[in-house]
A and B are shown apart, each in its own frame.
Chain A
Amino acid sequence: MSDYAATGIAILSTVLVVAPLVAIFIYLIYKGASSLNLAFFTQIPKPPGESGGGMANAIFGSGVLLLIGSVLGVPIGIAGGIFLAEFGRGSRIANAVRFTADVLNGVPSIVMGIAVYSLIVLPQKHFSALSGGVALGIMMIPTITRTTEEMLLMVPNSIREAALGLGLPNWRSVLSITLRTASPGVITGCMLAFARVAGETAPLLFTAFGNQFWSANLNQPIAALPLQIFVYAISPYDEWHRLAWAGALVLIVLIVVSVALVRYVTSRGVLKGAS
């Protein structure tokens, strides 16, 4: 009897976890799917009053910003995690780094935007794609660092000893054995960080700024999906509201697709029986 109860509670909890995601998704499709057409993916926004137009530049801009963010955040984040788990274990500097990462993780994203604004935008005297990417990258670091650390600590010590026992230098053992063994978890951490910043709006307000036109110049303001959604959603035009819904739908789908793609690509090398 109690077995059934436990199973029932587990099923109920699963439904409660999945329900909001499904509900959001269905609502987005209901509100946004009708505004999705080829033009949405190929055209840039039209001035208010004119119908049509799309968010091609914002989709592209989000891609650029996330690329800069990942190029910056993934290596630094993983390196930080390696330091915490493998080299600095128990040292005072490691404790300081871990504490800083946890605090950084809790900093509101708008504060991150202001920080990057004063660090990059003010000295340069203009908004830029670069500063937006940097803001996203910095936001990715603490998540990646802490998950990398956790995943590396889960690698049993016997694996490290096996590597050292073969006469591998410690750095080699860390990079080619320990990190490789932990890589599925590390990749999950990177994807979590990626998905989190992909929807960030606040840190881009003062940095990437948004752009109504095509731009691939890293030194110029650039459009981003979340920014575009924000601008359209608070506008007074019904047409723009519909485009905002469509944008939100595209944003979610793109995040899911890119996470699934990375998972697929990184899982192709996994062997039969590998844990």
Chain B
Amino acid sequence: MGAGIQVSGLNASYGSNHTLFDINLNMPANNATALIGPSGCGKSTFVRCLNRMHETNPIATVTGKVLIGELDIYKDLSPVEVRRRVGMVFQRPNPFPTMSIYDNVASGLKLNGFSNRRVLDEVVERSLKDAALFDEVKDDLKKKSGASLSGGQQQRLCIARALAVDPEVLLMDEPASALDPVSTAKIEDLIFQLKSQYTIVIVTHNMQQAARVAENTGFFLNGKMIEFDATHKIFTNPSDKRTEDYITGRFG
């Protein structure tokens, strides 16, 4: 099951560069939430705050409160515990190049000391099926490297890898921006199906994509969240002038 996300008073910066200003946001469980906005508006920084990835940069700081389910990820959990609950898919596919397809998917469990063969086999198969990749790779699971797959397959492999540790939330930072239209459509279908099991937060530059996959959409500009509402409302009748200007292509 997915968990809801409540963000209040979130501020983030890189050194002296303040990148997120007082973000307040409520993302319901088992929904997809899209974050849109021009490049550099802080949407990537925002999702990186949701799994405490932001602070892996030594000059990065973050303040505020992020509740995932009942737990404050900055108070009640260590970064490692947070990232077990909040999986992430990155902009560019990043499979582990020296590992087989199987090991890529199993890595999160294996490297955390989980070694029951039978259960691992099951988890790998289920995750690859959930990521709609199983049929394409089932004959090469242990023979081929994750890096030998096509870009779209690699991204679905990365999704399977994230699903294998059974997170509550899945963050996707422009997961289809490096992919061709066919692969993009596959990823979007996937997001639709994954919603039943996970809460999804997706950053995207593609507004049609946001409209297709997400119940709610947030619009970011210059480190502030300008508007957050039901997706159809944002795209048909935004309440802020700046949102309207952006979605109608007047800037950004």
Point out residues on A near B: beta carbons under 8 Å.
156, 158-159, 161-169, 172, 176-177, 180-181, 183, 270-275
Contact = CB atoms under 8 A, between A and B. Distances in A.
B6 interface: no
A158 B148 contact: no
Contacts of B242: none
Given A272-B144, A272-B148, A273-B144, A168 B111 contact: yes
**Taking chain A's interface residues, is the majority helix, strand, or loop, or is none over half, making it mixed?**
helix
A166 B148 contact: no
Given A165-B88, A166-B161, A273-B148, 13 more contacts: A158-B90, A162-B96, A164-B79, A164-B83, A165-B87, A168-B108, A172-B111, A172-B112, A177-B96, A180-B98, A183-B98, A274-B98, A274-B147
B94 A167 contact: no
Complex A-B, nearest 8 residue pairs according to Cβ-Cβ distance, in ascending order: A273-B148, A167-B84, A274-B145, A166-B108, A167-B83, A165-B88, A271-B145, A158-B94
A181 B96 contact: yes
B107 interface: yes
Interface in B69-117: 79-85, 87-88, 90, 92, 94-100, 107-108, 111-112
A167 B92 contact: no
A267 to B, nearest CB: 11
A100 B145 CA distance: 38
Interface in B142-188: 143-145, 147-149, 158, 161-162, 165
A257 B66 CA distance: 58
A164 B97 contact: no
A159 B83 contact: no
A229 B111 CA distance: 49
Interface residues of B, number: 36
28 contacts: A158-B90, A159-B97, A161-B56, A162-B158, A163-B96, A165-B162, A166-B161, A167-B82, A167-B83, A168-B80, A168-B112, A177-B96, A177-B107, A177-B111, A181-B96, A181-B98, A270-B98, A271-B100, A272-B140, A272-B144, A273-B144, A274-B97, A274-B98, A274-B147, A274-B148, A275-B97, A275-B145, A275-B147
Best-surrounded residue of A156, A161, A166, A181 (most CB of chain B within 10 A): A166
A271 B108 contact: no
A163 B96 CA distance: 9
A159 B96 contact: yes
A165 B81 CA distance: 10
B145 to A, nearest CB: 4
A176 B111 CA distance: 7
Given A181-B96, A271-B100, A274-B147, A167 B90 contact: no
A181 B111 CA distance: 15
A156 B97 CA distance: 11
Contacts of A158: 90, 92, 94
Contacts of B23: none
Contacts of A168: 80, 108, 111-112
B145 A272 contact: yes
Contacts of B107: 163, 166, 176-177
B156 to A, nearest CB: 14
B147 A273 contact: yes
A271 B195 CA distance: 34
Nearest to B95: A162
Interface in B3-36: none
B53 interface: yes
A265 B41 CA distance: 50
Contacts of A183: 98
Contacts of B144: 271-273
A249 B162 CA distance: 54
B51 interface: yes
A177 to B, nearest CB: 6
A161 B81 CA distance: 15
Contact of A164 (B53, B96, B100): B53
A196 B85 CA distance: 49
B181 to A, nearest CB: 23
A161 B147 CA distance: 16
B215 to A, nearest CB: 24
B133 to A, nearest CB: 15
Best-surrounded residue of A161, A165, A169, A275 (most CB of chain B within 10 A): A165
A165 B53 contact: yes
B80 A167 contact: yes
A167 B145 contact: no
